[in-house]
Amino acid sequence: MIADIKKNCVRNVPSFILIIFILLFLSNTTFSRTSISTEDCDITVTVNIAFYGDGANQSLIDKWEQEAENLWNGPHGYRIFGYCKCRVHFDFNMKIVSNKDSCPDDYHCIEVKNVPTDNDHRSFVKTGAMPGKGFDKGPYTKRATGEFSNRDDGKVVAHEIGHLMGLDDEYFDFSVDFTINNDGSITINNLIITYPPGMPITDDIRKKVREGIGNLLSRGRVSKGHSYTWNSSSLIPGAMNDSIMGMEPGFNWTATQGHIDQICEETDTECPNKCCCGNGKFDAGREECDPKAIPTGCKDNLYCTSLCKCLPYVIPGHETTTTSTTTTISQKETTTIPKKTTTTLETVVTPRCGDGYLSSPREECDMADHPIYSNWSGAKVYLCPKGKVCVNCKCVQLTPTCGDGWIYRPPNYGLPGVWGEECDPKATPTGCEEGKICTQDCRCESEEKCPDGFYTSEDCEGKCGENEACEFDLETGCYSCVKIACKENSDCGEIIKKRVCYNNDVYEQTIIPICYNPGTPEAECKFRISGISRGGQLLPPLEDCDPGYCLDGQCVGKITTTMEETTTITETTTTTIMTCEDMGMYSSESACDNECDPPDRCVYHEGYECWYCQQVECGEGLYESSNCDGECDPTRGEVCEEYQDTGCYRCVCPDLMVTSISAKVSLSANTHCQDEICKTDCSLSATVEFQIRNIGARAVDASTAQVKLAPAVGTETEAVESLDPGEVSTTKTLYFSRFATVTGSGMVACEQLDWWSSEYTATVIADFENDVAECDEDNNENSVYPSPT
């Protein structure tokens, strides 16, 4: 028996060690109380919180959960992170437990106090471990405890959840002893930061406190010749006024982009490059193209897939064969001259897509958008029928695009990372199994009603208010009323002039509200602030405070300044009669041009009837660097040049084309007979005239053109001068002649000659010897077919 026990003990030693190991492991296990995960282009931050205590009830925490999620997810239901704009979702899971000991391991544990009225209550969380550094990593996942009040609103809860995601308070509490001297100046006798502990008192902090005292002074809350102790708090320097972690009074608090970035960056979360696909911007180096960008980034005859790859354009079931034959169209096709037929090509328009000419049946549409070819008087836009778009002069349904009636399923569809459409709402059948509907973003979803505040109809069932628009919501697949920030400038407030401190002097600052994208969901109020500097130069101050200094828009330390006078001066005034210059704009375009550095440009503002300098970003094939980011291809003759004085650069190259060609061929046969033997003198004379145009955007050096008259008449070369972009060469004329005497009579006798024909082909090849590198080496040749006379 004893032996058996010993044996079992010995046998069980490994199990015992294993149990100990498991217990040790569990005590250090990383529970996902706050966690972050990435799936494709969606990042989800999850926070689990269990509540207990007298004040906890289900309706309260439901309300908290919704309000806190709404605040963190923002008005669009998600936030954005990273260059490729991944969507960040905040998911807060809140539950009630009976007591502190019942909190699940993977939940933070917070007590809710039952506070009878809206009495003051200190709500807090104690993270127990260093917050703010990668909360998804071992040592930082220690459970938080804390205490809320049942009177706390969703904003307070959202603030505390910010701590659970590693964010710090963005305010500091201070206690300051100060004196308002008889001359109005302020002496700070003692300043203590009472929260957060250990925060250093920097110059910025002192400045914030001094500004606060200045406000007390201007509001008459303190008076000269007295000393005070003031306990208050202020935003930390650099914090946003509307930050939920700063809780600055007078602002509607929300999560800032800085918060989103901090949460993601400190957890080493990344937004993959592939997420740039479909963001409406072609991101070179990260994708071949972007299907929602205009242009997409693909070359001609290629379309951009939803995977941001350029592929040859193929419409399912409508495969087409592309031919590269080139014909010429003449607006004045034939001129008949007695005894001679001359093929004349004037005002030649090459049948090229974008030339503003509908070359039916080859072209189904033409947007007249070619920079060179559309530059003629008859150019028109030929649109497609409704429901189709013009792509490379063909009217097509853009496939794959959600809602085009096609269900796009790329190769390997269904595998991770391979995107496609589950269905298409316009396809019949839609592609969804029974009981599911196809959403507007081509996903199959259970046929459920839209959540509260969302609608299935495009007009939001007429529920949108005057300042709202009905917009599609990608998250829910429903429509919702989206607030329009402004419809006109006056919606953004009035023009405000106020006195401010700068460089210890008083300046008059003007704040002009401007409504950008008015009346659209993208509308936003922005403010132009002027009055301190213009064109990089400091303006003269309104009031020089020397030897005193400026505080809250007034000079202090100046003997002549009285409290009453100062208070009056610092009142914010509103005015509507101002010059353009008063508003930081310009009354003339030339004045604006002088101050506006490219690529920014001067734009006329209808509302204020002034010119202002609008910031311009280079895009759509343009570069901000003068070397075009090294993207130019020298084998195509590309060099990087500034684009139309915009301050943006693009790759340009020359491109030679034979844009005008005409030919005349005359044949003659002269028969003379002797002793019944006839001989005929056969002769040919021909003239070929042509011009060459540089249709590229870069000047081209002198080149050589070749002219060939077939059959068997001859081949000549002709020098062509250097040409600027768009420039046409002088008319080149070449003469050909052939002579031969043959046995026989009449023209029939000449037909034995290889150069005698009823039809000739005159061909001109620009840059025959490939002296210059061009954008397109395949468009140098052109021909006409003169009939001989």
Exposure pattern of 619-657 as b/e (b: 16+ CB <10 Å)? eeebbeeeebeebbeeebbbebbebeeebbbbbbbbbbb
Total chain residues near another protein (CB under 8 A): 35
- Residues 501, 550 contacting (CB under 8 angstroms): yes
Strands 703-710 and 649-652: unpaired
By CB under 8 A, residue 250 contacts another protein: yes
Query: In the set 182, 223, 232, 789, which binds another protein (CB under 8 A)?
Result: 232
As a whole number of angstroms, the distance between CA 355 and CA 251 comes to: 55
Q: Within 10 A of 488 (CB to CB), how many other CB atoms are there?
A: 13
Query: In the set 252, 336, 377, 674, which binds another protein (CB under 8 A)?
Result: 252
By CB under 8 A, residue 225 contacts another protein: no
By CB under 8 A, residue 371 contacts another protein: no
As a whole number of angstroms, the distance between CA 723 and CA 348 comes to: 19
Residue 190, both tokens: 């003692």
Type of residue at 116: P
By CB under 8 A, residue 417 contacts another protein: no
By CB under 8 A, residue 359 contacts another protein: no
Q: Which stretch binds another protein (CB under 8 A): 109-117, 382-390, 394-402, 647-655?
A: 109-117
Shortest distance, position 156 Cβ to another protein, whole Å: 6
Please report how the helices 154-164 and 58-73 are oriented relative to each other, as an axis angle in degrees rounded to 10. 70
Shortest distance, position 34 Cβ to another protein, whole Å: 19
Instruction: Summarize the chain as % helix, strand, coil (round to 5).
Output: 15, 35, 50
- Residues 189, 241 contacting (CB under 8 angstroms): no
Shortest distance, position 552 Cβ to another protein, whole Å: 15
Shortest distance, position 562 Cβ to another protein, whole Å: 23
Residue closer to another protein (CB basis): 159 or 693: 159
As a whole number of angstroms, the distance between CA 370 and CA 198 comes to: 66
Shortest distance, position 233 Cβ to another protein, whole Å: 4
As a whole number of angstroms, the distance between CA 44 and CA 37 comes to: 5
Q: Which stretch binds another protein (CB under 8 A): 117-125, 392-400, 426-434, 759-767?
A: 117-125
Residues 47-86 close enough to bind another protein by CB under 8 A: none
Residue closer to another protein (CB basis): 253 or 406: 253
Query: In the set 11, 23, 122, 560, which binds another protein (CB under 8 A)?
Result: 122
Residue closer to another protein (CB basis): 193 or 482: 193
Query: In the set 48, 233, 296, 757, which binds another protein (CB under 8 A)?
Result: 233
Burial label for 592, CB within 10 Å (0-12, 13-18, 19+), is: buried
As a whole number of angstroms, the distance between CA 713 and CA 761 comes to: 10
φ, ψ of residue 582 to 5 degrees: the values are -60, -30
Q: Which stretch binds another protein (CB under 8 A): 118-126, 280-288, 309-317, 629-637?
A: 118-126
Residue closer to another protein (CB basis): 233 or 691: 233
Residue closer to another protein (CB basis): 116 or 200: 116
By CB under 8 A, residue 120 contacts another protein: yes
By CB under 8 A, residue 171 contacts another protein: yes
Query: In the set 14, 200, 249, 417, which binds another protein (CB under 8 A)?
Result: 249
User: Would you give the binding string for another protein spanning residues 182-211, x where CB under 8 A is met?
Assistant: ----------x-xxxx--------------
Residue closer to another protein (CB basis): 247 or 710: 247
By CB under 8 A, residue 575 contacts another protein: no
By CB under 8 A, residue 147 contacts another protein: yes
Shortest distance, position 436 Cβ to another protein, whole Å: 42
Cβ within 8 Å of residue 658, ≥6 positions away: 690, 691, 692, 705, 764, 765, 766, 780, 781, 782
Q: Within 10 A of 136 (CB to CB), how many other CB atoms are there?
A: 20
Residue closer to another protein (CB basis): 67 or 173: 173
Residue closer to another protein (CB basis): 247 or 358: 247
Query: In the set 79, 108, 151, 558, which binds another protein (CB under 8 A)?
Result: 151
- Residues 95, 51 contacting (CB under 8 angstroms): yes
Query: In the set 96, 129, 247, 398, which binds another protein (CB under 8 A)?
Result: 247
Residues 545-574 close enough to bind another protein by CB under 8 A: 572
By CB under 8 A, residue 527 contacts another protein: no
Q: Which stretch binds another protein (CB under 8 A): 75-83, 97-105, 116-124, 748-756?
A: 116-124
Shortest distance, position 205 Cβ to another protein, whole Å: 15
Q: Which stretch binds another protein (CB under 8 A): 73-81, 247-255, 314-322, 718-726?
A: 247-255
Query: In the set 28, 98, 101, 116, which binds another protein (CB under 8 A)?
Result: 116
User: Which residue matches tokens 């008005």?
Assistant: 75
As a whole number of angstroms, the distance between CA 250 and CA 242 comes to: 9
Shortest distance, position 247 Cβ to another protein, whole Å: 5
Q: Cis link prior to 725 (omega < 30° from 0)?
A: no
Shortest distance, position 229 Cβ to another protein, whole Å: 9
Closest by CA position to 495, among listed 538, 527, 459, 541: 527
By CB under 8 A, residue 159 contacts another protein: yes
CA distances (Å), origin 478, targets 149, 438, 551 = 36, 11, 52
Cβ within 8 Å of residue 106, ≥6 positions away: 31, 32, 33, 48
State the DSSP string of 333-399: -EEEETTEEEE---S-B---TTSS---TTT-S-B----TTTT-STT---BPPPTT-EEETTEEE--S
Three-state SS at 274: helix
Strands 310-312 and 302-304: antiparallel
By CB under 8 A, residue 222 contacts another protein: no
Binding site for another protein (CB under 8 A): 113, 115-120, 122-124, 126, 147, 151, 156, 159-160, 169, 171, 173, 175, 192, 194-197, 231-233, 247, 249-253, 572
